[in-house]
Amino acid sequence: MTTERSKRYPPSHGIEPCTSCLPGRRINHFTRKGISLRLTIVWEQYDRNIGHIIAKAIFDNKYMDCYFTRSFYKHILGVPVRYMDMESVDSQFYKSLVMLLENDIHEWDLGLTFSLDAFEFGENKVIELIPNGSTTIVTNDE
């Protein structure tokens, strides 16, 4: 399984290990540097195949030299993933989410829209999270 993981996360693909330290916990995960959140069909097939390998290892009770996030375990168990699970992946991002949820954002002019600025394969792109997301301002309204 160690060999498969090494093949799965080669440095040339922009995927690298990263560690988040929370009080009393050390969380290991992987980040995709410079690759947008939208995966191509090739990546989706690649992820599906490695998922089959992981499932087989779990089923056969084999050791895997890798770590999974809390949200991954929740997906396996069929438990809903909530924003609080983000704390174990990226504590700074989690704190930003909590700040946005606990405060009235009308008081600030943050200029937030439903879009994501991404740097993908040497090119800056705007990814709309909803239709017309780059022109839709984020508010407290649902």
Give the helix/strand (H/E) hosting 49.
Answer: helix 41-59
**In this structure, are 49 and 111 located in the same domain?**
no
Instruction: List the domain range (segments joined by +) for residue 112.
Output: 104-142
Exposure b/e, 104-138, CB count within 10 A at least 16 = b = eeeeeeeeebbbeebeeeeeeeeeeeeeeeeeeee
**In this structure, are 64 and 17 located in the same domain?**
yes
What is the predicted pLDDT for the residue at 10?
A: 55
**In this structure, are 98 and 30 located in the same domain?**
yes
On the question of pLDDT at 139 being above 70, the answer is: yes
**In this structure, are 125 and 77 located in the same domain?**
no
What is the predicted pLDDT for the residue at 80?
A: 92
**In this structure, are 120 and 95 located in the same domain?**
no
Confidence band, pLDDT 50/70/90 cuts, at residue 27 = very low
Q: What is the dihedral of CA 95, 40, 80, 96, to 10 degrees?
A: 10
Q: What is the number of domains present in the chain?
A: 2
On the question of pLDDT at 38 being above 60, the answer is: no
**In this structure, are 96 and 112 located in the same domain?**
no
On the question of pLDDT at 87 being above 70, the answer is: yes
**In this structure, are 50 and 109 located in the same domain?**
no
39-59 pLDDT, tens digit per residue, is: 445 566 777 788 888 888 888
Nearest to 51 by CA among 76, 71, 29, 28: 76
**In this structure, are 130 and 74 located in the same domain?**
no
**In this structure, are 50 and 30 located in the same domain?**
yes
